Amino acid sequence: MTLRELQYLVALARQKNFRRAAEVCNVSQPTLSTQIRKLEEELGLVLVERGTREALLTAAGEEIVARAQRILNEAQDIHAIAERHRSPEAGRLRLGVFPTLGPYLLPSLVPKIAARFPKLELQLIEEKSDQLLQKLAVGQLDAALLALPVGDDTLEVTPLFDEPFLLAVPPGHPLTLRPNVCLEDMNGQKLMLLEDGHCLRDQAISLCRRWGAGETSGFRATSLETLRQMVAAGMGITLMPMLAARGPLATNGNLRFLPFREDPPPSRSVGMVWRRSSALLPVLRQIARMARDTERDLIAA
């Protein structure tokens, strides 16, 4: 049994097609098929149901693929350890971030990372939270900035900060007459929200239920910036994380951000997560501290 055979099997499990798996592995289809057949013969098990359209894993195949992925991750970490010892604070770091945080934190955070780790190749991946967790699990990311909580025992979770929510309202809305809002003000209000898959949508729905508020029917935004522009156009109100209400992107005369009166105000918790087995722990922990300090500076500005 070789790592290459396990790699081919994992690729086939993802692609469910021998041709596509071979393309991903940069080998010919017969080579990939032969190596997987060799692995089956060695184990004395059928791992793949070979159909006309899809290659599906057997029950044994699914269990072995899960273990194989962990083995491949560990092998990747061994290479990272060697690279780290050869050249401390160098190499590649793949950092994921969810879309309602990235545009507002990264422009201030990334220059600090570049200054502290000039030899580090930083690759940024912006995806929804569930996709970031999947990429972490299969070794396609080294770390991710995520909304907490994260329920995965294989990941180390470092809480960074609690980001308050503000209420974004257009001119002329009755709530603009108030310096701030409270839970009673939200009862019966309708809020424009993001589409399914965004963690901010789930957080907003949870708060709406608590407040007695609801969702504006017939509209779901694909991004926070779309929500911002819809509010500015007078189409409704929405929740906005505080970082998104600061800086040049927030400049809009047709928009007002109202804080909540409650102490503590409604907020979301943000953390940085990585695999417990990661070889990049010293660097990741420094970047986590930098992210925490950057958020504090942005909020204070």
Give the confidence band of 240 by pLDDT, cuts at 50, 70, 90: very high
- What pLDDT is recorded for position 184? 87
Of residues 71 and 300, which shows the higher confidence score? 71
How is residue 121 written in tokens? 């190749």
What length is written for the chain? 301
What pLDDT sits at residue 84? Answer: 66
Is a pLDDT exceeding 70 seen at residue 239?
yes
What was the pLDDT predicted at 147? 94
Pick the CATH number of 87-155+271-300 from 3.40.50.2000, 3.40.190.10, 3.90.600.10, 3.40.50.720: 3.40.190.10
> What is the average pLDDT value for the chain, to the nearest integer?
89
Q: Given a cut of 70, is residue 249 above it in pLDDT?
A: no
Tell me which residue of 296, 300, 292, 287 sits closest to 110, measured CA to CA: 287
pLDDT value, residue 74: 86
According to CATH, where is 3.40.190.10 located in the chain?
A: 87-155+271-300, 162-267
Instruction: Give the pLDDT confidence score for residue 190 in this predicted structure.
Output: 92
As a whole number of angstroms, the longest Cα–Cα distance in the chain is 75
Q: Decide: pTM greater than 0.75.
A: no
258, 181 contact by CB (below 8 A): yes
Q: Using the predicted structure, report yes or no on whether residue 107 has a pLDDT greater than 70.
A: yes
Question: Mean pLDDT over residues 94-107, rounded?
Answer: 95
pLDDT of res. 82: 78
Q: What is the pLDDT of residues 121-169, one digit of tens each?
A: 899 999 999 999 999 988 899 999 999 999 888 899 999 999 999 999 9
- Match domain 3-82 to its CATH number in 3.40.50.2300, 2.130.10.10, 1.10.760.10, 1.10.10.10: 1.10.10.10
| Contact assessment for residue 161 and residue 104, using Cβ atoms and an 8 Å cutoff | no
Q: What CATH code would you report for 162-267?
A: 3.40.190.10
> Is the Cα dihedral 162, 294, 180, 230 positive or negative?
negative
